[in-house]
Amino acid sequence: MSISVRTFRGPSIDVTADLEGQKTKTLLKLQVRRIPKESQQHLLKEKESMKGVAVQRLKSTVDKTQKIILTTNTKKRRGVLKQLEVSVTVGQVGDDIQSSVFDKLSEFAQQEADMAALALECGDSNLQLLIQAVMSIKNTSTRGLKADIAAAIGWGVTIPVGGSICVKALTNRGLHTLIGMVGYVLKDQDEEHFRFFTKNVTDIQMEEGKRRYVMLGSCQYKNRVELTPQNVLVRAPQFRRWRSSNPLSLTFRGCLRQMISLVNMFLQ
């Protein structure tokens, strides 16, 4: 006995048996629902689309979970939180820093910092865009803060080639203070590439920061003292005694001229 299967153009399949020359007997008849090719393609596209949405949701969930782990659980693991005053520089050797990194760091500062000022500036040495910031923030250490910043900007697992994050505790000397660094962060404010973000920084603090940068920052007035109506009457007699070979013959105008041209003083 032999068994054969026949498929017809219609929606049916017959299973028949040939009983050694006897009349063929139908053993089984199946009704099959055929799906048009257009519907099959539509279902495949729909399946792929749903798969893509699921993958994106999974990636988003993983990113959020990673950020939570690196910014909260790691703090508990590292130790007790303390108030830090730091300068932060984020850059990428050989390329401009992406604007999305600035947005993510601004979001981090908004959520975590007590006070912050961030700017997108052009580096003096390589003329590439980087992020300069100053923050007052609670963390366990500068090292722990660096790890949290890396996680916040998406560099927690894989740092791009040439990427760097520098976190330094402020010395509170010269320009390296919270207000002084606010002025430093603002130094590119008249440039087209400049972007700025602040949290809990007043206009008065920004003006004072810019004034300190003029006095102490990287410009023609660096390490020079501003002469004001309040201090000039004190400094002029000192200069006459210490710097002039004949103090009595030096007029006030001549003394003022020598103070500006010979020593580290300037008039605004």
Q: Are residue 96 and residue 62 in the same domain, yes or no? A: no
Judge whether residue 43 has pLDDT over 60.
yes
Judge whether residue 251 has pLDDT over 80.
no
Q: Are residue 74 and residue 98 in the same domain, yes or no? A: no
Which of 37-41, 50-54, 87-91, 250-254 is modeled with the greatest confidence? 87-91
Judge whether residue 245 has pLDDT over 70.
no
Q: Are residue 206 and residue 100 in the same domain, yes or no? A: yes
Q: Are residue 51 and residue 159 in the same domain, yes or no? A: no
Domain of residue 261 covers: 227-267
pLDDT band of residue 32 (cuts 50, 70, 90) is: very low
pLDDT tens per residue across span 175-193: 899 999 999 999 888 888 8
CATH number for 113: 3.30.70.1150
Number of domain units in the chain: 4
**Cβ pair 21, 13 in contact under 8 A:** no
pTM of the model: 0.57
Q: Are residue 87 and residue 179 in the same domain, yes or no? A: yes
* Structure-model confidence comparison of residues 50 and 143, the more confident one: 143
